[in-house]
A and B are shown apart, each in its own frame.
Chain A
Amino acid sequence: MRNAFAKVLTELAKQDSRLLLYYADIGNRLFNPLKEFAADRAINAGIAEANMASMAAGSAMMGHKPFIYTITPFTTARNFEQIKIDIAYQNQPVIIVGTGSGLSYANLGPTHHSFEDIALMRSLPNMNIVCPADADELEILMPQLIALNKPCYFRIGKKNEPQVHPSRPELKFGKAHVMHQGEQIAIIATGTIMPLGQALYGKLAECGLSPELVSLHTVKPLDKEYLNGCMSRFKHVITLEEHNVNGGMGSAVLEYFNDQNHQIAVHRFGIPDHFIDQVHSPDDAREKAGLTLDAISKSLTERGVL
């Protein structure tokens, strides 16, 4: 997905001289095509992410539309206070890109995992959050984020994420994308966990249920229209994300239903509230986190859903 990000950024930067990239000394050759025609707009900010976030806000104040880019924990948690004050409070159109989100860098340990980033960004007024499921979603949504001209958090993967849409989908910022319509139970997934959502969809259908599968790429603002529909259409909603079950997309959905005073069973699946370590691959880590089809199916059976 990071290749798609670099590609789209390069294309868009050719058309819009206001686009600017700050990156914290990562990417190696990733941004070479951008540097070839706009070396001065691909700025290595050094391994100094807090300064990078504030500088991007300063650039935005002078009319640029900056991106800040590095591995997710360093572009969201390490510099959180700079994002809060200089980007969110001052409402500057900086796009914060977290690459290798969730468990993408599983083998590098908890320093490189990000299970708290959505929770952090969701707590900031003015912030918008988009988590594309694959390179197609990234390519379609990225120009929309630029056009939004507001603070955005763009939570992307690393590389070789499976393509989840059979053909290029029509996606709109802020609107849930229904991949398969169903009548009994909704599976709402966000980001690169979508292949597991698809597997779960298959499993529920196999069990004779009529599931609905949704890519909720925009976590903030929530698509209230879609969620309102869920309240009348479903008794159960399953949320799926590679993020702590506390504070992420599932929590946002649960809070929304609660605030409408509507009783609906929300089954949240994500990273349990503990650190994941001693793993050698994302799949290994997902196993430890209980983010597998078997573990989720077992849990849904215990809850009486299956």
Chain B
Amino acid sequence: MKYTETASQIRHTLCDVSSKTKTPHLGSCLSCVDILVALYWEIMNIDPKAPTMPDRDYFLLGKGHAASALYTTLAYRGYFSIESLYQHGQTNSQFEEHPGIHAPAGVETVSGSLGHALSLAAGMALSTRLSGKENRFFTLLGDGELNEGTIWEAAMFAGGKKLSNLVAIVDFNKLQGTGESCEIMHLEPLEDKWSAFGWHTIRVDGHDIAALISALAEAGKHDKPTCIIADTVKGKGISFMENDNNWHYRIPKAEEVEKAKQELSV
């Protein structure tokens, strides 16, 4: 797959930035890299040189603690320099640990409190339809984020209003802050849930970029919103981080970054 190397470079930079800036949530970032690559390289109508062009597609990050994954994707896509990522979490930085109102162009909304992005995107999608425009709205939700009641309020509304320009992607990495997502809450059967709320639902391997592209290409082709349930692995790509929930908060040491680099072959 032509984007595998890009995804590996992003994963390595994520580790390096986390290590050097002492910022957490690496595991949560690593699970959604392939989804972001599929969106930003193949699916979304965007132009890194014109980040606010009116007819662009919008990406809204629900799981705001994965901000570094978004920043790093945007940097590799050409929105801003890769060096600037090392300002992450520093005083007066645009790259706050959770995206704020000073975030650089390309970041469409603040994030950090879970359960906001899908509602925001539903309002944006509805207004866009009222205005006769064709922008599409992609949101990335964590599986832990699905605990929030507003997700299901928005899902019911969007299903009811048949917002076909709205896409929810669930980064289903099976682990949330302190444990296994399916033990903490009764999440499954997730496809049935979203379908029952009136969504066109597709389940896909969230690390198979070709499969993601093919699933995401269905957005807008049905008379209803689309939900992509992406089965992912927390810490994906780095053997000693995969499925180890300590990496929700742990910061890698320099030698661990080096080891990750070797595993990623970058």
B120 A46 Cβ-Cβ under 8 A: no
Chain B binding site: helix, strand, loop or mixed by DSSP?
helix
Q: How many residues of B contact A (CB 8 A)?
A: 26
Residue of A nearest to B111 (CB): A85
Does B149 reach chain A (CB closer than 8 Å)? yes
Does A57 reach chain B (CB closer than 8 Å)? yes
B149 A50 Cβ-Cβ under 8 A: yes
How far apart sit A1 and B120, CA to CA, in the bound complex (Å)? 30
- With contact pairs A61-B120, A64-B130 given, residues A90 and B153 touching in the complex (Cβ less than 8 Å): no
- Given A55-B154, A61-B123, 13 new contacts (CB under 8 A): A48-B150, A50-B149, A51-B150, A55-B122, A56-B123, A59-B126, A62-B123, A64-B127, A66-B123, A85-B112, A85-B116, A89-B101, A90-B110
Does A267 reach chain B (CB closer than 8 Å)? no
How far apart sit A174 and B182, CA to CA, in the bound complex (Å)? 52
Contact with B along A27-58 (1 / 0, CB 8 A): 00000000000001101011010110111111
Does B80 reach chain A (CB closer than 8 Å)? no
Give the residues in chain A near B149, CB-CB below 8 Å. Answer: 50
A58 B119 Cβ-Cβ under 8 A: yes
28 inter-chain pairs at a CB distance below 8 angstroms, sorted by A residue, are: A20-B127, A20-B130, A46-B153, A48-B153, A48-B156, A48-B157, A50-B150, A51-B122, A53-B119, A54-B116, A54-B119, A54-B120, A54-B122, A55-B120, A55-B123, A55-B126, A55-B157, A58-B121, A58-B124, A59-B123, A64-B130, A66-B123, A82-B116, A82-B119, A85-B112, A85-B116, A86-B109, A90-B110
Scoring A41, A48, A55 by chain B CB atoms within 10 A of each residue's CB, the highest score goes to A55
Q: Which residues of B, 89-142, contact A by the 8 Å Cβ criterion?
A: 100-101, 109-110, 112-113, 116, 119-128, 130-131
How far apart sit A61 and B116, CA to CA, in the bound complex (Å)? 14
Contact with B along A63-86 (1 / 0, CB 8 A): 110100000000000000110011
Q: Whole-angstrom distance from the CB of B111 to the nearest CB of chain A?
A: 9
Residue of B nearest to A40 (CB): B130
- With contact pairs A46-B153, A48-B156, A51-B153 given, residues A86 and B120 touching in the complex (Cβ less than 8 Å): yes
B113 A51 Cβ-Cβ under 8 A: no
Give the residues in chain A near B160, CB-CB below 8 Å. Answer: 46
Q: Whole-angstrom distance from the CB of A19 to the nearest CB of chain B?
A: 11
B126 A43 Cβ-Cβ under 8 A: yes
Residue of B nearest to A94 (CB): B123
- With contact pairs A40-B130, A86-B116 given, residues A58 and B122 touching in the complex (Cβ less than 8 Å): yes
Which 5 residue pairs of A and B lie closest in terms of their CB atoms, listed nearest first? A58-B123, A55-B123, A54-B119, A51-B153, A48-B153
Give the residues in chain A near B154, CB-CB below 8 Å. Answer: 51, 54-55
How far apart sit A220 and B216, CA to CA, in the bound complex (Å)? 46
Partner of A51, one of B119, B124, B128, B130: B119
Q: Whole-angstrom distance from the CB of A6 to the nearest CB of chain B?
A: 20
Give the residues in chain A near B100, CB-CB below 8 Å. Answer: 89
How far apart sit A147 and B124, CA to CA, in the bound complex (Å)? 22
How far apart sit A89 and B120, CA to CA, in the bound complex (Å)? 14
Residue of A nearest to B119 (CB): A54
How far apart sit A51 and B122, CA to CA, in the bound complex (Å)? 9
How far apart sit A86 and B119, CA to CA, in the bound complex (Å)? 10
Give the residues in chain B near A61, CB-CB below 8 Å. Answer: 109, 120, 123-124
How far apart sit A13 and B87, CA to CA, in the bound complex (Å)? 45
How far apart sit A86 and B157, CA to CA, in the bound complex (Å)? 18
Give the residues in chain A near B124, CB-CB below 8 Å. Answer: 58-59, 61-62
How far apart sit A57 and B101, CA to CA, in the bound complex (Å)? 14
Q: Whole-angstrom distance from the CB of A243 to the nearest CB of chain B?
A: 27
Give the residues in chain B near A57, CB-CB below 8 Å. Answer: 120, 123
Residue of B nearest to A41 (CB): B130
Scoring B110, B112, B119 by chain A CB atoms within 10 A of each residue's CB, the highest score goes to B119
Contact with A along B140-172 (1 / 0, CB 8 A): 000000000110011011001000000000000
Q: Whole-angstrom distance from the CB of A43 to the nearest CB of chain B?
A: 7
Give the residues in chain B near A60, CB-CB below 8 Å. Answer: 123
Give the residues in chain B near A89, CB-CB below 8 Å. Answer: 100-101, 110
- With contact pairs A54-B150, A90-B101, A90-B109 given, residues A62 and B120 touching in the complex (Cβ less than 8 Å): no
- With contact pairs A50-B153, A51-B157 given, residues A85 and B127 touching in the complex (Cβ less than 8 Å): no
Give the residues in chain A near B130, CB-CB below 8 Å. Answer: 20, 40-41, 64
Give the residues in chain B near A63, CB-CB below 8 Å. Answer: 127, 131
Residue of B nearest to A50 (CB): B150
A46 B156 Cβ-Cβ under 8 A: yes
